[in-house]
Amino acid sequence: MSARLLAETSAPANLDEALDWLIERQSNPVRFDIDDLPALGQDCWLKVALPITAPRAVICAVWLIEDVDEGPCVMAGHLRFVGHPTVPATRLSFSGRSATPTGPGHEAARQLLGVIAASIESRSTVARAAIAS
């Protein structure tokens, strides 16, 4: 790992939704194709460690690897979700390292946060629709 990466974004999900998504990903890694993370220029898998929780935060180690079974690591670090005290939104950040040069690595980290936030949001929307019907 060479380049140090930092990226941050807002996510419309609350911390419970983010935690549920992370727990599901522990036993079910997420496959991203080149369209999801074009800055990486390749397909990869997101592996997630056991999340650690606090009253207004969730943190979790993550790895992007080339192959789910034995592939080399493309990017590694931790995700941090910090909840707002009064609204159901979170601040999502990634801090880690990349095997790619800094420029593409930073863009890949931003793209990673975007696809994670979208995945949590779409999962939450489906769950809310199932409860409503």
Residue 80: CATH number of its domain: 3.30.530
Binned at pLDDT 50, 70 and 90, residue 84 comes out as confident
What's the CA gap between 76 and 78, in Å, rounded? Answer: 7
Burial class (CB in 10 A: 0-12, 13-18, 19+), 90: buried
pTM confidence score:
0.86
Q: Structural domain of residue 127, as residue ranges?
A: 3-132
* 5 touches 103 (CB < 8 A): no
Q: How far apart are CA 27 and CA 8, in angstroms?
A: 25
Q: Judge contact between 79 and 93, C-beta under 8 A.
A: yes
| Percentage with pLDDT > 90 across the chain | 62
Write down the pLDDT at residue 128. 47
Per the structure, the count of domains in the chain is: 1
